[in-house]
Amino acid sequence: MSSPRCRAYVTFLAGNGDYVKGVVGLIKSLRKVKSAYPLVVAMLADVPKAHRELLLDQGCIIRDIEQVYPPQNTGSFARQYYIVNYSKLQLWNLTEYSKIVFLDADVGVYENIDHLFDLPDGKFYAVNDCFCEPEWGHSPQFQIGYCQQCPEKVAWPAHKLGPRPSPYFNTGMFVTEPNNETFQKLISMLQDATPTAFAEQDFLNIFFEDIHNGGYVPIPSVYNLIVGMLWRHPENVESDKIKVFHYCSRGAKPWRYTGKETNMDREDVKMWVKKWWDVYNDKSLDYKVTMNKIAEEKDDPVPAKIVIAAKNN
């Protein structure tokens, strides 16, 4: 089992867009649920200084990484900006941490999930994806109406399409162990890979399908409930048990939300968007305010370990 002091939540940030707001919302949500571990932002060089300073002020640890490109960058991606996500392979190079829980910047953490770090080592943990949204239109799963969220509804036609696909995870949340050997294997395998619709997500699914690379172990959807589940598979959604909510459909990003896109006018979507904004706007969850509260509760100046961490950042 990994040492508690060598664990971290990690997210990824690139460019000068508004995803920085997502990272702020993410770290404040982790703070609200009293997580014991830091949030590391794996960041490309094109993130502007102002965004870096904002995240440092919120208590994030910044880790600069180099961009990773697929060998052919002209693939037909479901969304063009997915190409930059191959840089997430650099997460396996964060070997100062024995175990990480990766969280996309467009998720909110609404219950403490620190126990995920205690999952047995040597495996890759994530949540099964849903194949029902239009972005999956290129896939045989979408075309025949098959989804691993409800495999009993449409039988997989093995006589036409071969064996049923292996379980396929969404990379909005996963638990893994950084390791230089794994990183080198990922980069080597990428050289012969053909870019596909979901970029690094497809690639990582292929990689971790191999048990020699650790093997994928599905965990319950409450650890990465993608917003589309609300209308695609409501029978599988228990709102009061959701720990991590993933705002990944078009129009669902809370900081861009207008309610005009398809399904975005639903009351349950509005509720989850409000939940994110309630955390984002909560000034008591700002890093400096929180540190002052801790110091006051201990009737002491800011703890030495906090000062040391700040210097190291």
Q: Which residues are annotated as catalytic?
A: 88
**Separation between Cα atoms, residue 144 and residue 149, nearest integer Å:** 14
CA neighbours within 13 Å on the CB side: how many for 296?
Answer: 6
Beta strands 7-13; 39-43: pairing state: parallel
